[in-house]
Structure 1
């Protein structure tokens, strides 16, 4: 326990209160592994329905926007800019949006962001009704919708684990993807039909109605538990929350490797989303209705993939499954380029949709499982930044290449390149099993005395805090101790440290000192509050090499501010 006379027993209270509110009661053992188990939660049912309705409106909007742009301009670059405008704002806003989602009341945040998207979609419908829609206005309002989506998505994704227990979280994410892809299967076809019969105004109005529905569901039917924190520790500041979220992702190997794999997967797969409207119109010579049907075929493949994902996870490791999904998406592009016809396109797009959901759902599930509850929205925001950045920048790349190499040549390049990248990135391994980052920490003994006269300075938040921990290590165990401390280093950074070092005393070969800095005393306390079972286990492993019977000596230092 910290020897702090002003706050007796503080450390023990925080280690027990952090996890009291997080996990919903799960299904019984007979249903825990059912593909439909998440629907036992009423909150998840409403979340799933709202997600599906919102996705339906989004796909109607996307289909209408992409097709209208082909009417406004035949340039592959301009058509690709629709995709870029829908993705890049989400990429740029990801980390601020994740911090807001972790800091704000979740319900209020979701209502406000859906109202913002409702306003943007309504404005688009009004402009279309007035026949004032041009390429600039279409791109600008598409980007505004993407701003709302960028602010909404981290909070929405981070809400799923609050509605289901961990053992069915992967199934819940797959079902969410199935709902999204049911909307993808139906939405483009409905969007193409609406465009043909009623025009763009009705298509954009349908999207506005979907946001109104989501806002009502969240406002009336859903409540989310708040993460409990110490009442005497000030809440995180916005800038600090972004920094800590980024540090957590960089220091958590599972999250970092998943982000790398996501960039590779989505970057190559973005070609089909960016160029399919022009491919259907210029290469196949078909109408907007046919474009909607082909988008629906991708969605149907994704629904099929969602149904077989539980079986595939039992047969194939996570690492290989994501690599195979990337290869499937890429291989599906090759016949589109070499044998362009309607009969070739349908099975190829079905395979693409199958690979898409297998890869995307497993990548997102890996991030969800590896992120601690207190930082989950920020980590998911970084995943969504990687997704939208790869999709948006990929769309620009494929659009630029399409200007010079033609549509079929560009699609062929994306297919061949994607196969190669899927093979290469398999070396960035993802574990088969992921430990629960919300598991309570062990009660690691801590001794630290704080002089009464130093307490005002400690609580002033004007000084960075340096913690120095002294170890006595047998020189024969030096290599093993260094290896154990490498994991401790990652744990410190995940908890918010801004600098870490391991030093050795030149006058005493058994004396080692670990030092790390945090921004202030409150952030140090928040970091200890966030320690989980994995963090305490790596500390225990490192301390097992300590020679003395007494625990390592800890010294808390206040770094003097610069003059």
Structure 2
């Protein structure tokens, strides 16, 4: 269980798609939790009591259900970033309406739009996560998504409740709306996208294992060295390409990765990575995707004529 948890966390940390989705959903959920946490206070300020609070919740749910009927078509037409961006803007505007007006009908209408915006964004985050993880880690990716979304929601709710007690309802909702807008700026460094088919489809291992005796599954750590003798004059391009191997190696199980140059033979490079056990190494080989193999093909294109990749495996002696 612990090993499986660590492999899921390692995958998320070294997968730009999954990491971006987790950070974005945390930012959205933490800022948006202010409205949900302070909804009873909003109802109290409107003077509607328990029936009014129930109606506010009903408006949020109605908006969510209504947009759910057309969300798939909207996402296909406009794309994920537009849906999430519009959802953040609309939800932030709804918080401002709840903060700045006491007209009951206007607040109810704002809650309809807020429910639609919340459902649109959160459903898009969830879809992106499920579609961006290979089969072996998909359930763990969904679990991390739930922890990120609900964890940020829980901590955000506590924070906004305490802030409202100190600052008051109106300033707190205004700050939350501002943070929701700021969170949308994450779209540039951490864009959302769904994984392409070749990025989530597992591939057959490239090289056969040539070892004298199969180690025990728990034996390790295991060091793997992949030797490349490249064509003269291609060093810079080769290093630039092979550096992209770091993320998939680390993502699929390696705890260490580095490229070395042979001082005695400048055209020879060695890629070296370490995994915790023999079982982890076999898992790593099985987790490679078609996109990873395409990247390896690019790396092998730099080999000198007649040369082949040479792999060596080493296991720690205890």
1:262 aligns with 2:25: yes
Q: 1:514 aligns with which of 230, 250, 271?
A: 271
Aligned to 2:210: 449
Q: Is the 8 A contact 1:468 1:514 kept in 2?
A: yes
Calculate the TM-score normalised by the size of structure 1.
0.54
Shift of 1:317: 2.6
The residue that corresponds to 1:277 in the other structure is 40
Question: Which residue is equivalent to 1:398?
Answer: 160
Question: Using a 3 Å threshold, how does the CA distance of structure 1 residues 273 and 304 change in structure 2: closer, same or farther?
Answer: same
Please give the per-residue CA displacement for 1:56-97, whole angstroms capped at 9, x wherever unaligned: xxxxxxxxxxxxxxxxxxxxxxxxxxxxxxxxxxxxxxxxxx
What is the number of residues matched between the two proteins?
A: 317
Local SS of the residue matching 1:459: coil
1:343 positional shift: 1.2
1:517 and 1:330 mapped to 2: Cα distance?
A: 46
Change (3 A) 1:278 1:436: farther
Specify the alignment match of 1:412 in structure 2. Answer: 174
> Which segments of 5 or more consecutive residues in structure 1 lack a partner in the other structure?
1-237
* Aligned partners of 1:447 and 1:554 also within 8 Å: no
2:81 match: 319
Shift of 1:240: 0.9
Distance 2:243 2:57 in 1: 47
Deviation at 1:508, TM superposition (A): 2.4
Give, in angstroms, the shift of residue 473 of structure 1. Answer: 2.2
Higher relative contact order (CA 8 A, sep 6+): 2
1:274-315 per-residue CA deviation (whole Å, 9 max, x = no partner) reads 11012212x112222221111111111112221232232233
Q: 2:219 aligns with which of 439, 443, 462?
A: 462
Match of 2:193 among 431, 436, 440: 431
Alpha carbons 1:442, 1:537 under 8 Å: kept: no
Q: Secondary structure at the match of 2:172?
A: helix
Q: What's the RMSD between the two structures over aligned residues?
A: 1.9
Distance 1:293 1:529, change over 3 A: same
CA distance in 2, matches of 1:526, 1:443: 11
What SS is found at the alignment partner of 2:288? coil
Q: Which residue of 1 aligns with 2:294?
A: 537
Matched, 1:375 2:132: no
Question: What's the offset of the Cα at 1:492?
Answer: 1.3
Between the aligned partners of 2:39 and 2:196, the Cα distance in structure 1 is 37
SS in 2 for 1:470: strand
Pick one of 241, 244, 253 that aligns with 2:7.
244
In 2, are the aligned partners of 1:254 and 1:370 still within 8 Å (CA)?
Answer: yes
TM-score, length of structure 2 as denominator length:
0.93
1:359-405 Cα deviation digits (max 9, x unpaired): 10110001000111111121111111110121111112111110111
**Alpha-carbon distance between aligned partners in 2 of 1:355 and 1:483, rounded to the nearest angstrom:** 42
1:503 aligns with one of 247, 257, 260: 260
CA distance in 1, matches of 2:252, 2:131: 18
The gaps in structure 2 that reach 5 residues or longer are none
Confirm or deny that 1:361 pairs with 2:118: no
With over 3 angstroms needed to count, the CA separation of the structure-2 counterparts of 1:487 and 1:320, relative to structure 1, is: farther
Output the CA distance in 1 between the equivalents of 2:170 and 2:150.
24
Shift of 1:433: 5.8
CA deviation vs aligned residue, 1:307-346 (integer Å, no higher than 9, x gap): 2322322332322321221121111111111112211211
Provide the secondary structure at the position in 1 that maps to 2:233.
helix
The question of 1:480 aligning with 2:237 is answered yes
Which residue is equivalent to 1:345? Answer: 107
Correspondence 1:161-310 to 2 at 5 A? 238-281=1-44, 283-310=45-72
Superposition pairs of residues 542-557 of structure 1, within 5 angstroms: 542-557=299-314
Alpha carbons 2:229, 2:304 under 8 Å: kept: yes
**Equivalent-residue separation in structure 1 for 2:217 and 2:23 (angstroms):** 40
Match for residue 113 of structure 1? none
Partner of 2:251: 494
Q: Is residue 21–residue 129 contact of structure 2 (8 Å, CA) maintained in 1?
A: yes
2: CA distance, partners of 1:432 / 1:375: 15
* Cα distance change on mapping 1:241 and 1:432 into 2, 3 Å: closer
C-alpha separation in 2, matches of 1:501 and 1:396: 43
Would the alpha carbon gap of residues 477 and 430 (structure 1) be closer, same or farther in structure 2, given more than 3 Å must change? farther
